[in-house]
Amino acid sequence: MKQLLIVERFCLAGHILSMIFGWAGLLYVLPHPELIASLPSSGQTVFGLSMAWGGVVNIILGAIAVSIYAYRTWGVWPTLSFMFPAMLISVSSELLGTSTGFPFGDYHYLNGLGYKIAGLVPFTIPISWFYMGIVCYAIARAGVKLAEKPNWIRQLGAIAIGALLFTSWDFALEPAMSQTIVPFWYWEKAGAFFGTPYQNYAGWYGTSFLFMSVAAIFWNLKFGAGKQNSPKYFTQNQLVFPLAIYLSNFGYAAVLSLGSGFGIPVLLGVLVGVIPTLALYQLASSSKALFANEESATIKTEIPVAAVKVGLK
């Protein structure tokens, strides 16, 4: 397990560093071609490779880090039963979207995100839906305290809020990925919301709501109410990593969008994504509180037993 933790931290550091280098390349180097021309041939080659494969490496490192974290913290079943629905449902939506325009709108992917499935959707796209989706759902689930007080209202709330946090990321992401100096996808017709169709956000919310719902069903089969092996996941301590992933990825997209003058989409993402995320983190139970509750419950169940034994004497 120690080796896994080392790999997780290495991948997380690489994930964040790749975003920092992405900022430097997209916002500073590319707008100044004289800087590229001043580099030696080897430097120009490295820069070209970083621009061509930086996005792929960033997503893969993030996915590895999140997968290891989820396995260490919640186990194999929660990790895989979220990963497969998230990736299968998201790639299905993306293939449908790039083929028909539903549910996101009429768009197409350019180069820079790796090999395209069926020549339409980069393989890294469903991977990113998984690793951002699971951290959004984990934060939402913790904030509504579903593990401590399971019921269908809290379950529905966790899914609805998780999908909202996920969609909020796209408010900052869309301008950064489709309208900056190096776009990764483009819209056939500019949408009404700063170049993006409103339909796109409905598609993001619907797709993420669907795969989070499927994952929730699987999780409840294994760790539902009344199950003896139900772990107390999603405490504040366990949310530090998901929080870092969410905020760093939102921040990466936000800086790129702000650098191109898209302030309102970023502000909207902060209002309906970042601020609620921080609030949910504060609402989540601490591990100390859970331990105190378990200790109290143990005392309550042991005292009556002791009293019965005294009476028998």
Closest CA to 66 of 8, 140, 19: 8
Q: Where are the beta strands (DSSP E) in the chain?
A: 107-109, 116-117, 121-122, 185-187
d(CA 122, CA 16) in angstroms, rounded, equals 21
Segments making up each domain of the chain, as ranges: 82-312
C-alpha neighbours within 13 Å on the C-beta side of residue 35: 11
What does the pLDDT read at residue 224?
59
What does the pLDDT read at residue 178?
93
Torsion on CA atoms 66, 69, 75, 76, rounded to nearest 10: 40
Radius of gyration of the chain (CA): 22
What does the pLDDT read at residue 288?
59
What does the pLDDT read at residue 146?
81
Global pTM? 0.88
Residue 25 buriedness (CB in 10 A; 0-12 / 13-18 / 19+): middle
Residue 151 buriedness (CB in 10 A; 0-12 / 13-18 / 19+): exposed
Q: What is the pLDDT along the chain (313 residues), one digit of tens a residue?
A: 789 999 999 999 999 999 999 988 888 888 788 888 888 888 888 888 888 889 999 999 999 999 999 999 988 989 999 999 999 999 999 999 999 999 999 999 999 899 999 999 999 999 999 999 999 999 999 999 887 788 889 999 999 999 999 999 999 999 999 988 889 999 999 999 999 999 999 999 999 999 999 999 998 877 654 454 444 557 888 899 999 999 999 999 999 999 999 999 999 999 999 999 999 999 998 765 554 444 444 444 444 444 444 444 4
User: Distance between alpha carbon 292 and the CA centroid of its chain, in Å?
Assistant: 31
What does the pLDDT read at residue 51?
80
d(CA 99, CA 107) in angstroms, rounded, equals 9
